[in-house]
Structure 1
Amino acid sequence: MAWEERDGALHRSLRFDDFSAAFAFLTRVALHAEKIDHHPEFTSVWNRVDFRLTSHDAGGVTERDRQLAEEIDRLASAGAGR
């Protein structure tokens, strides 16, 4: 599934082989998010990570969210997310 825009946010779910792979991926996302000072909303349940990207101060999706989505996709590809 690709990113879906709804309710003023970008949404995507990713699955990994197991909890450790999902957690390692989230660690990579967290390091990038800190670097760019733009932090995603996410939930993680065992091997699944669900994202919701929005810029609260702008009231919806901005170019920063789209750039973060692209980086999340790149990191998922490197970490075998599907």
Structure 2
Amino acid sequence: MSTPLLTDAELSDALAGLTGWTRSGDTITRTVQAGSFLDGIELVRQVAEIAETMNHHPDIDIRWRKLTFALSTHDSGGLTGLDISLAREIDRLAAQSDSTG
């Protein structure tokens, strides 16, 4: 069973409460600059643990200390509450690390 898609209004409201996330079509993305390569890998590991418990996995691009997280609920064909929940967790973890962006 797929998760219900967010309306444009719901998505706009949710994005207003998130740090650095932008929408492009059916995906929201955020880029984080880690303090070091190992800090970035540790942040990815922490995000992976949460993603696994949520059974909702982001696309992650790692370029040295620059991490880009992309979220979309593929089986629903767009953005859902799962994406917003995971984005909040990524924001929380990024704030706890030495990351900025």
Range class of TM-score, shorter chain: over 0.9
Q: Distance in 2 between matches of 1:3 and 1:80?
A: 18
Instruction: Find the counterpart in structure 1 of residue 59 from structure 2.
Output: 41
Detail structure 1 runs of 4+ shifted over 4 Å in the superposition: none
Which has more strand, going by share of residues?
1
RMSD, aligned α-carbons: 1.0
Which has more helix, going by share of residues?
2
Specify the SS of the correspondent of 2:38.
helix
Q: Distance in 1 between matches of 2:20 and 2:98?
A: 15
Matched-pair identity in % = 33
TM-score by length of structure 1 reads 0.95
Q: Deviations over 1:25-44 (max 9, x none)?
A: 00000011111111001110
Structure 1: which amino acid aligns with 2:71?
Answer: L
TM-score by length of structure 2 reads 0.78
Q: Aligned pair count?
A: 82
Where in structure 1 are there 5+ consecutive unaligned residues? none
Q: Distance in 2 between matches of 1:65 and 1:51?
A: 11
Structure of higher CA gyration radius: 2
